[in-house]
Chains A and B, each alone.
Chain A
Amino acid sequence: MRRLLSFHALLVYAFLYLPILVIVALSFNESRRGVRFTGFTLDWYRALFQDPRVLEYFLNTLTVAFVSTLVSTVLGTLLALGLVRYRFPGKGFLRYLLYIPVVVPDVVMGVSLLLLFAFAREALGFPKLSLLTVILGHITFQVAFVTLVVRSRLLLLDPALEEAARDLGARGFQTFWYVTLPLAWPGVAAGALLALTLSLDDFVVTFFTAGPGATTLPLYIYSSVKLGVSPKVHALSTLIVGLSAFFLALGYALSRRRV
Chain B
Amino acid sequence: MNEAATPFQRFFRVLVTVGPGGLWLLLFVLLPTLLVLVASFLTRGPYGELSGPLGLHNYARVLEPLYLEAFAQSLLVGALSTLLSALLGYPLAFYIARHPKRDLLLFLLLLPFLTNFLIRVYAWLVLLQREGLLNAFLGAFGLGPYAFYPSFFAVLLTTVYTFLPFFVFPVYASVERLDWQLLEAAYDLGARPVRAFLHAVLPQTYPGLFAGSVLVFIPAMGTFVVADLLGAGRVVLIGNLIQQQFGVTRDWAFGAALGVFLMGFVLLSLYLYARIQGERGLEELV
Contact = CB atoms under 8 A, between A and B. Distances in A.
Interface of A: 1, 5-6, 8-9, 12-13, 15-20, 22-23, 26, 35-36, 74-76, 78-79, 81-86, 88, 90, 94-109, 111-113, 115-116, 136-137, 139-140, 143-145, 147-149, 151-153, 155-157, 159, 163, 166, 172, 186-187, 190-191, 193-194, 197, 200-201, 203, 217-218, 221-222, 225, 229, 233-234, 237, 240-241, 244-245, 248, 252
A103 B263 contact: yes
Interface stretch (B63-71, B164-172, B183-191): B164-172
Contact of A186 (B110, B172, B262): B172
B35 A105 contact: no
B1 A104 contact: no
Contacts of A112: 32-33, 35-36
B138 interface: no
Interface of chain B: mostly helix, strand, loop or mixed: helix
A95 B173 CA distance: 20
Given A23-B123, A100-B29, A105-B259, A152 B118 contact: no
Contacts of A222: 118
8 contacts: A19-B124, A22-B133, A101-B29, A112-B35, A149-B169, A153-B207, A156-B204, A252-B104
B112 A88 contact: no
B114 interface: yes
B26 to A, nearest CB: 8
Nearest to B171: A152
Nearest to B31: A116
Given A8-B92, A140-B24, A19 B262 contact: no
A200 B116 contact: yes
B114 A244 contact: yes
A148 to B, nearest CB: 5
Contact of B170 (A101, A144, A152, A225): A152
A79 B36 CA distance: 25
Given A100-B33, A217-B116, A153 B177 contact: yes
Please indicate which of the listed interface residues A12, A15, A103 has the most CB atoms of chain B within 10 Å of its own CB. A103
Contact of B271 (A74, A96, A107): A96
A108 B165 contact: no
B95 A140 contact: no
Interface of B: 1-2, 4, 9-10, 13-14, 16-18, 20-22, 24-26, 28-33, 35-36, 88-89, 91-92, 94-96, 104-105, 107-124, 126-127, 129, 131-133, 161, 164-166, 169-170, 172-174, 176-177, 193, 204, 207-208, 210-211, 214-215, 218-219, 222, 224, 229, 238-239, 242-243, 246-247, 252, 255-256, 259, 262-263, 266-267, 270-271, 281, 284-286
A194 B116 contact: no
Given A149-B215, A155-B207, A225-B121, 9 more contacts: A8-B95, A23-B115, A78-B16, A86-B14, A108-B36, A111-B246, A152-B208, A155-B284, A190-B173
Contact of A111 (B88, B126, B252): B252
Given A96-B270, A190-B172, A218 B165 contact: no
A113 to B, nearest CB: 6
A156 B284 CA distance: 11
Given A26-B126, A244-B114, A140 B29 contact: yes
Contacts of A172: 9, 13
A229 B161 contact: no
